[in-house]
Structure 1
Amino acid sequence: MSDQDSSSQTEGEMDEEVDGKGDRDETLRDSPVLSLSSFSSSLHAVVRIKQKYRAMKKRRQEMAPLGRGADGDPAGAPSKTSPKIFTFDGLTPFSSTLSSSSVPQKKKRRRKGVLYPNRGRRRAPPKQEQSRAKYCLYLLFAIVFVQVYNAIENLDDHVLRYDLEGLEKTLRREVFGQQGAVDGLLSHLKDYLSTYVHNKPLVVSLHGPSGVGKSHLGRLLAGHFRSMVGETLVLQYYVLHHCPQEADAARCARDLAALISEMLKRAEEEEKIPLFVFDEAEHMHGEILDVLLQLVASKQSNEYLNAVYLLLSNLGHARVTKHMLHNSSSISTSKLVEELTPILRNSLEKLHPLWTEADVLPLGLLEKSHVMECFLDEMTREGFYPDHTNIERLAGEVGYYPEVGGHEYSKTGCKQVVAKVNLL
């Protein structure tokens, strides 16, 4: 008999015995008194069942190395279901080893995603709703950009009206040895003329020794503004010419205030910025300085705030000369403006409060090479042939300070150039 037949026969016998036991239990339960013989037969049945179960278990252990299941089936085949029978044996080590080795374990995969606390399943992150206010914000950015762009274009148009690029080329071509002062003056003009709305007028005060180009720079600036804003909005005021007598200082101050107010009102109507040039400011009387201070510091109306005042004087020339002669070895054009500006400001503010409202720019001494450039320019204007030998001879006739630090500074600058060229 094969193993399969034996196993099936055993299962049949077990079923019959179980059924018999059930019938006897029912009979015993129905009878009022339990006999000793019926109890011993039940005990014998339980012992036989246990012995048969151990025999089946032993056969399963013998068949396991041969690669067959407990029911004679190949390993891995689905096992037949049978009724579970109560036993007193616990789980043996072999059964636990068999279950762990025969059943393939799945590889645990690491869960990806957001795991929320106290939740066992994965949830998708909440979708962020797009706010409609974002589009309004984009529209606001576009409007601000257009406004800023239009404002920049308007600033450029306002600067182009005064042609500051042309003014810069003219000053650099015709003003010699004063690049620091020219750069400072152009910087102030560009900042001020870039818009028409101001909180105060622009006041620039140029100071330096005689013959260094103060009056020449004022004439160039006045001529450029005449061509830009018109003749009526430019004033060149020479104190020794317009008010030579000190007794007439009060009248001159009233006339000057009325003239400036009239020009400011005309400039306000035409939306232009006028220019006022005051040469030889060191000879100005106290009454005129007081009137200018009132006009500069006035908060009456807008026309008094939109104006450019240029003061030219030789106040503080001794400090400029002394500083350049003592620092000629390490001095440069840019350092000259930085070092002399606070020195001049302290001395000028003690003279009159007008200079507290002004931007001070110093002009330094001219070297011999600068004087030769002045001769060359003047001779070209007068139609003379620019002979280098003749120019050097004329420049040698000008007085100079003793050479210091490799520099030879002129005592009178280019002041005698015109007179010497006229003698040719």
Structure 2
Amino acid sequence: MKATRVCLWLHAFSTVVVLVGAFDPITTSVVIGIGAALSRSIYNYLHESCDQKWVAFNSTGLEEDLGNKLFGQHLASHIIAKAVSGFMNNANPKKPLVLSLHGWTGTGKNFASVLIAENIYKKGMDSNFVHVFTAELHFPHAGQMDTYKTQLQQWIKGNVSACAHSMFIFDEMDKMHPGLIDSIKPYLDYYDKVDGVSYRKAIFIFLSNAGGESIVQTALDFWNAGRSREEIELKDVETSLALSVFNNKRSGLWHTSLIDKNLVDFFVPFLPLEYKHVVQCAKAAMSAQGLEPDAVVADKVARELLYFPKSERVFSVKGCKTIDSKWEYYA
């Protein structure tokens, strides 16, 4: 259908061009104007631009995706849905949205970022307005900190200038050199503009394993007390999580002014996953391949993973990290 429309537009445009020579100068100017407008329409149809056609927030879609696809994370799903919806529905936010996602590997931090992008940008993670930085890939050498700071500032400024609703995802924050992220503090603060550019509509997401121990301890405390994980609330983990991240020397947020100045809007805890959540991940992996989920295979995959505490086997050590590569082995 999309290809048919483009072909029709191109045919119409070529017809306009052929007819130009048959009119007087005034009529020719009108026809050329129509042709130029048609050409712009074709370009905008094919190329992503920073407008409502390509950047349109789906609040209901985000809430449903987080609830149905992000397994075992009732708390993170609730916080993210409320935070992103409140921000995107505010025509004049006072500052950029800053989310810091924390938890052990395989608990869904990266996946949550994907779901956010898919419900804001038509092209999801492939959008030109979504930018991902990975500590070990983009900032590998501690001796080049000054260069990294300058490049990071220029990159963010350039992209926000091109599209106010840009998203920046910083992965592996626990491996990022301390002090680097402070270089973008002015862009996350309550400023109307910084060097002529407003950053108030941008979204910054930090992903980190740092603070995972604090989150796991809370989950274990609830389990030992016989309480459901669904009873865990933000107030049960937020303060200890923020302190753990701020005082962790292996964290890119160690003693950062972003925390000290309260510029991180939410510290989002991702709880350790249980056996039943791993089963859900395995079934989802099969569905993603267009296959009917097999409960027997999903059970085999889940049983083969490591859990802790060792005697009770409550929480998956790697969450759902290796599910995609394992389920086919048991099929």
Is the pair's TM-score, using the shorter chain for normalization, greater than 0.5? yes
Paired with 1:198 and 1:186, the residues of 2 have a C-alpha distance of 17
CA offset digits 1:278-310 (Å, max 9, x no partner): 111111223421112232126261612221111
Q: CA deviation at 1:275?
A: 1.4
| Partners of 1:175 and 1:213 within 8 A in 2 | yes
CA distance 1:341–1:287, shift in 2 (3 Å): closer
CA offset digits 1:376-406 (Å, max 9, x no partner): 11122234553222221111000111389x8
| Partners of 2:214 and 2:244 within 8 A in 1 | no
Paired with 1:214 and 1:395, the residues of 2 have a C-alpha distance of 20
Indicate the structure whose relative CO is greater, using CA pairs within 8 Å and at least 6 residues apart: 2
Match of 1:353 in 2: 257
Q: 1:278 aligns with which of 167, 170, 188?
A: 170
Match of 2:269 in 1: 362
Amino acid corresponding to residue 130 of structure 2 in structure 1: V
Q: CA deviation at 1:195?
A: 2.0
- Give the number of aligned pairs: 261
Task: Give the unaligned 5+ runs of structure 2.
Answer: 1-51, 248-253
Match of 1:216 in 2: 111
Paired with 2:188 and 2:136, the residues of 1 have a C-alpha distance of 22
Paired with 1:305 and 1:334, the residues of 2 have a C-alpha distance of 34
**1:161 aligns to what SS in structure 2?**
coil
Of 242-251 and 224-233, the range deviating more from structure 2 = 224-233
**1:364 aligns to what SS in structure 2?**
coil
CA offset digits 1:16-75 (Å, max 9, x no partner): xxxxxxxxxxxxxxxxxxxxxxxxxxxxxxxxxxxxxxxxxxxxxxxxxxxxxxxxxxxx
Q: 1:187 aligns with which of 78, 82, 105?
A: 82
**1:162 aligns to what SS in structure 2?**
coil
1:415 aligns with 2:321: yes
Paired with 1:364 and 1:170, the residues of 2 have a C-alpha distance of 18
Paired with 2:293 and 2:329, the residues of 1 have a C-alpha distance of 15
Q: 2:234 aligns with which of 322, 337, 350?
A: 337
Q: CA deviation at 1:316?
A: 0.9
Q: 1:261 aligns with which of 143, 153, 157?
A: 157
Amino acid corresponding to residue 293 of structure 1 in structure 2: K
| Partners of 1:276 and 1:308 within 8 A in 2 | yes
Match of 1:393 in 2: 300
| Partners of 1:232 and 1:263 within 8 A in 2 | no
Paired with 2:190 and 2:183, the residues of 1 have a C-alpha distance of 10
Paired with 1:312 and 1:287, the residues of 2 have a C-alpha distance of 16
Of 330-339 and 203-212, the range deviating more from structure 2 = 330-339
| Partners of 1:205 and 1:311 within 8 A in 2 | yes
CA offset digits 1:148-177 (Å, max 9, x no partner): xxxxxxxxx9xx931111122222222100
CA offset digits 1:306-326 (Å, max 9, x no partner): 211111101111111122112
Q: CA deviation at 1:192?
A: 1.3
CA distance 1:244–1:334, shift in 2 (3 Å): farther
Paired with 2:128 and 2:301, the residues of 1 have a C-alpha distance of 40
Would you identify which runs of 4 or more consecutive aligned residues in structure 1 move more than 4 Å? Answer: none
Paired with 1:383 and 1:165, the residues of 2 have a C-alpha distance of 25
Paired with 1:291 and 1:387, the residues of 2 have a C-alpha distance of 49
Q: CA deviation at 1:415?
A: 0.9
Amino acid corresponding to residue 256 of structure 1 in structure 2: L
Q: 1:315 aligns with which of 205, 210, 213?
A: 210
Task: Give the unaligned 5+ runs of structure 1.
Answer: 1-156
What CA RMSD, in Å, does the superposition of the two structures yield over aligned residues?
2.5
Paired with 1:257 and 1:422, the residues of 2 have a C-alpha distance of 43
Q: 2:134 aligns with which of 215, 233, 238?
A: 238
Provide the TM-score with structure 1 as the length reference. Answer: 0.57
**2:215 aligns to what SS in structure 1?**
helix
Q: CA deviation at 1:237?
A: 1.5
Paired with 1:246 and 1:195, the residues of 2 have a C-alpha distance of 39
**2:122 aligns to what SS in structure 1?**
helix
| Partners of 2:67 and 2:77 within 8 A in 1 | yes
**2:316 aligns to what SS in structure 1?**
coil
- Structure with the higher helix share, 1 or 2: 1
